[in-house]
Amino acid sequence: MIVYQKTKDEFINDVRNNIIEFEVDEKVRTILHKKTPQSEFSAWRNSMLYMRNVLDDERIPSDVKVAIEYRLPMSNKRVDIIISGKDEDEKDNAVIIELKQWQKVEKVDTKDAIVKTVLGHGYHETTHPSYQAWSYARLLYDYNEDIRRHDIKLEPCAYLHNYILDDDDDLLAPCYRYYVDRAPVFTRFDTQKLADFIAKYIKKGNADVLYHIENGKILPSKSLQDSMASLLKGNKEFTLIDDQKVIYEKAIVIATDVSEDKKVYIIHGGPGTGKSVLAINLLVAILNKGLNTIYVTKNQAPREVYRKKLTNGKYRKAYVDNLFKGSGSFYDADDDTFDCIITDEAHRLNEKSGLFKNLGENQVKEIIKAAKTSIFFIDDHQQVTTGDIGSTDEIKRWARYHHAKVYEDTLSSQFRCSGSDSYLSWLDNVLEINDQGIADFDHDYDIRIFDTPEEVRDIIYQKNTINNKSRMVAGYCWEWISEGKNDPSVYDIVIDDFKASWNLGSTNTWAIDDDSIKEIGCIHTAQGLEFDYVGVIIGEDMRYEDGHIVTDFFKRARTDQSIKGLRGMYREDKEKALALADKIIKNTYRTLLTRGIKGCYVYCVDKGLSDYLKACLKDHYDDII
């Protein structure tokens, strides 16, 4: 999605007439539905003056296309500038330019592609500008099928127009040579050099290049479950960008620290921010450092999916089983048994372990005790059962108990929901989880509200024929009939003429099984996993009444263990029980409604909720349908 695109001459005129920042701001509001911070508005004004000087070169044709603020596919990240056209051999090219206002950096030679510079208030670590430009080009190449089919060459670079190089400047330190060679960096007095770089690849205009970048067929993001075997073989399946890369490098340094101190690293991230991708990449990287490292989740479904993918990839079952553990595996572990334990979905950790919840004391405490370094990936808004105790405060409490040094960071890059971080904010607003959320969101995420569950089923069936990566899920408002747990002919979910079965109890890999499209999953089989498209049935446990979202845990199935103990709590402390139930139900649907990479289709049993959601979608809904 390109915010601004004009010819070189039109761009130069917009800058000369001092309207360029207003032009871009208007497009950001109308196309991306975002308000521009003053700092970004000022940056456009300053940077575009320098870009005008660069492009005001007769070797760069007047009809070449200039694009500003191109949003990368399946991401919330934006490329600053793209100059597109043909070279002297009639080859299609696009020069990708990352603009920076920076004036100085400090090298961080203990981490790959990381520098320290002034960001906001004070010095912070971030990716080297050459790495950022290179990684954006990689993502664009990976996702846009037309770029590969039409053999469009992407040439990334960085332009730090306020930066004055010193002798032996850290910006060009040898540790960054790999990325600088692939994405040259230009500074204050390099106007001519940058013009030379652009002119080398852009000799004549060709509007088709930018058209293919803007309108090319976008492939879904790589599935973590499909990439597991390749990752463990050391292949680079995912290009980590921005905060992902910074946190990844920091985690490796923390885990490989040889000091005797215990260390706890808390990594926050909402749905789709790449927590699991980062966790698995860290597992591989730390294992390759020769450290005893394992991956842990409370939820069995992701572990079983990864195990199946890896054993199909010819890894020995015993090896795989030793890499992936349940969160209840450490109640009797000795201190520092492992160099590093990486806990994904840490919000799902329980207090007690074992089938009857009678083993151990506290899973958070036991994990920290068992590891020299504990890395927790957490989203405090994904606690979905009464037994979930893995909060940020709980982790910090036991870190203090073990005298561990605590580190904490947040992932913000969005890769699910078509990269729409505004969709997640909108969802929090609509579900009344966070009143700071927005009332509108990007138009390129396919969400629709249907009037019947049959319509949801039909479109999910259709999408699933593409690659078996679409599924239906539902709130746990229907009993899981015991005699039908392994019999798909027994229908647990009945809504008028619609009939379906919960996922069979005979498999823990419902998310990837060939014939499981016929079954409906719940929070326990979907959390921690993702699909291209997800269909969601919202039961009577969430309704819309008197202008507000209403939750009702009495409409949950009695076989639902996620609300165990709530009825007893309700008898003793009604307000406390209702508050906890409200949190669990809203978090459950928030999680289910964010499982889709490209789209989400919804049916609500409560017509009032259906009408409310349709009204909240406003113009977005009209555009989609």
Please report which residue ranges of 80-128 form alpha helices under DSSP H. none
Q: How far is the CA of 490 from the CAs of 13, 235, 405, 453, 583, in angstroms?
A: 69, 44, 52, 18, 31
pLDDT of residue 441: 65
Closest-CA residue to 95 (of 156, 50, 146) = 156
| For range 306-328, the mean pLDDT | 79
Question: At residue 233, what is the residue type?
Answer: K
Contact in structure between 66 and 7 (CB atoms under 8 Å): yes
pLDDT of residue 313: 62
Residue 378 has pLDDT above 50, yes or no: yes
Q: Which two tokens stand for residue 536?
A: 């969601």
What percent of the chain is modeled with pLDDT above 70? 92
pLDDT tens per residue across span 170-219? 999 999 999 999 999 999 999 999 999 999 999 999 989 999 999 888 77
Which pair of structure tokens corresponds to residue 458?
A: 């039909």
Q: Which residue has the higher pLDDT, 464 or 223?
A: 464
- Domain 224-411 CATH (choose: 1.10.760.10, 3.60.20.10, 3.40.50.300, 2.40.50.140): 3.40.50.300
624 pLDDT above the threshold of 70? no
> Given this model, what pLDDT does residue 625 score?
44
Q: Give the containing element (helix H, strand E) for 618.
A: helix 607-624
* Residue 299 pLDDT greater than 90, yes or no: no
CB 82 within 8 A of CB 159: no
In the predicted model, is pLDDT for residue 155 greater than 90? Answer: yes
pLDDT given for residue 19 in this prediction: 95
Contact 591, 410 (CB under 8 A): no
Determine whether 151 is exposed, middle or buried from the number of CB atoms within 10 Å of its CB (0-12, 13-18, 19+): exposed
Average pLDDT, the chain: 90
Q: In which element (H, E) is residue 37 found? A: none
Q: What is the mean pLDDT of residues 358-385?
A: 95
pLDDT value of residue 271: 81
Say if residue 416's pLDDT is above 60: no
User: For the residues 160-166, what does the mean pLDDT come to?
Assistant: 97
Mean pLDDT to the nearest integer, 538-565:
94
pLDDT of 356 above 90 = no
Tell me what the mean pLDDT of segment 106-115 comes to: 96
**How far apart are alpha carbons 238 and 227 in whole angstroms?**
9
- Cα–Cα distance measured from residue 586 to residue 601, given in angstroms and rounded to the nearest whole number: 17
**Residue 127: pLDDT band with limits 50, 70, 90:** very high
The Cα–Cα gap between 539 and 519 comes to 16
Q: Give the dihedral of Cα atoms 587, 590, 593, 596; nearest 10 deg.
A: -100
Cα–Cα dist 589/317, whole Å? 34
DSSP string, 48-73: HHHHHHHH--TTS-TT-EEEEEEEPT
- Contact between 82 and 70 (Cβ < 8 Å): yes
Non-local (6+) Cβ contacts of 262 within 8 A are: 336, 368, 371, 372, 373, 374, 399, 402, 403, 404, 405
* Distance separating alpha carbons of residues 460 and 450, to the nearest angstrom: 12
Q: Where are the domains of the chain?
A: 2-215, 224-411, 417-624
Whole-prediction pTM: 0.86
For residue 303, which of 535, 588, 512, 560 has the smallest C-alpha distance?
512
pLDDT in tens, 24-54: 999 888 877 778 888 888 889 999 999 999 9
| 344 within 8 A of 275, measured Cβ to Cβ | yes
> Distance between CA 415 and CA 143 in Å, rounded?
12
Cα of 544 vs its chain's centroid, Å: 29
Burial (0-12, 13-18, 19+ Cβ within 10 Å), 305? buried
Instruction: Indicate the pLDDT class of residue 87, thresholds 50, 70 and 90.
Output: very high
Q: Given pLDDT bands bounded at 50, 70 and 90, which one contains residue 273?
A: confident
pLDDT tens per residue, range 222-264: 566 666 667 666 667 678 889 999 999 999 999 999 888 999 9
Is the pLDDT at 515 greater than 60? The verdict is yes
Backbone angles phi and psi of 207, in degrees to 5: -65, -20
What is the DSSP code string of 519-531? EEE-HHHHTT--E
> Which alpha helices (H) appear in 380-441, and where do they start and end?
392-401, 421-430
Report residue 516 CA to chain centroid gap: 25
Q: What are the structure tokens assigned to 68, written together?
A: 């500003």
- Residue of 132, 102, 137 whose CA lies nearest to 245: 132
Specify the DSSP class assigned to residue 484: G
> For strand 531-538 and strand 493-495, is the pairing parallel, antiparallel, or unpaired?
unpaired
Q: Model confidence at 301, in pLDDT bands (50, 70, 90)? A: confident
Q: Tell me if residue 117 falls in helix, strand or coil.
A: strand
Query: Where would I find the beta strands (DSSP E) of 213-344?
Result: 263-269, 293-297, 324-326, 338-343
Amino acid at 365: K
Residue 221 clears pLDDT 60, i.e. is over it: no
Cβ–Cβ contacts within 10 Å for residue 496, how many?
9
- Give the C-alpha separation, 527 to 150, whole Å: 38
The answer to whether the CB of 198 falls within 8 A of the CB of 54 is yes
